[in-house]
Amino acid sequence: MAEPVKVKGLVIRQVNFGDYDKMLTLLTAEFGKISVSAKGVRSMKSKNRAASELLCFGEFVLNPPKGDVYSLSSAECIESFYHLRDDCVRLALGIYMADLAGHLAPEDMGMGLKILLNCLYMLQDEEKDINLLKIIYDLKILKESGFEPRVSSCVSCETEEGPFAFSPVQGGVLCRRCASLLGLKAEGTRAASFMDYIIKAPFVSGLFKTEVDEPTLKKATAYTESFIACHVAEHMKTLDYFKKLVKMQ
């Protein structure tokens, strides 16, 4: 009989079943995205309770899978992102980030997991602007998954000369001439240059000090969200919920 395996991973989704059980989705560096049946973890007495919470990063001992589903033997929490739980907006953004990683299942899982963990650490820091953090995460995880929008040159004729329109269906920016052929209006270059900068810059905490004006950040966010809706997941409830909370603030 195959031996249990030990993996480090982040709980990116959870669904309750039975009286005390959960089905967890873990993002791991070794095996990518996996499903884990976690029996009894909703019981107050379970020692695996804390590590089986959404957004917990932990070390999991798993019994070999039946079909595609592993079963949990034991779990130890390494980082619970406890401070996120004090702020419902930041928590909602963290849950959305995990959900997006689950939809993308980045090709290089190690790097995808690293980006997600880094952004969750940053998210706990109240000084960090959540809108800036969100677009950095979105574009970096898209890039890591091989899905990033093309924003440095026109997707149709390859000119690097703006102004540009953004077309989610075409997968990036269109120059004035190509945009007008599709009935779109070119809107400037700042949002596209800002997105290009994020996509190309190395992923370091310095990126979070980027200065950007509000209208550019808003436009780049709208472009990125329309791209995700078109190519990754048409409708993400976790994104709707985050936006609803932001509006209520």
Question: What are the residues whose beta carbons fall under 8 Å from the beta carbon of 217, sequence distance 6 or more?
Answer: 131, 132, 135, 194
Helix (H, G, I), strand (E, B) or coil at 68: coil
Chain residues 166-195 in contact with Zn ion, contact rule CB under 5 A: 175, 178
Angle 91-100-228 (CA atoms, 0-180°, nearest 5)? 120
For Zn ion (CB under 5 A), the number of binding residues is 5
Chain residues 130-159 in contact with Zn ion, contact rule CB under 5 A: 154, 156-157
Angle 28-84-113 (CA atoms, 0-180°, nearest 5)? 20
Q: Is 36 a residue that touches Zn ion (CB under 5 A)?
A: no
Minimum gap (Å) between residue 172 Cβ and Zn ion? 11
Residue 52 vs 170, nearer CB to Zn ion: 170
DSSP bridge partners of 23: 15, 37
Q: Give the Cα separation of 249 and 236 in Å (integer).
A: 21
Minimum gap (Å) between residue 174 Cβ and Zn ion? 6
Minimum gap (Å) between residue 182 Cβ and Zn ion? 10
Residue 4 vs 168, nearer CB to Zn ion: 168
Residue 35 vs 156, nearer CB to Zn ion: 156
Chain contacts with Zn ion (rule: CB under 5 A) = 154, 156-157, 175, 178
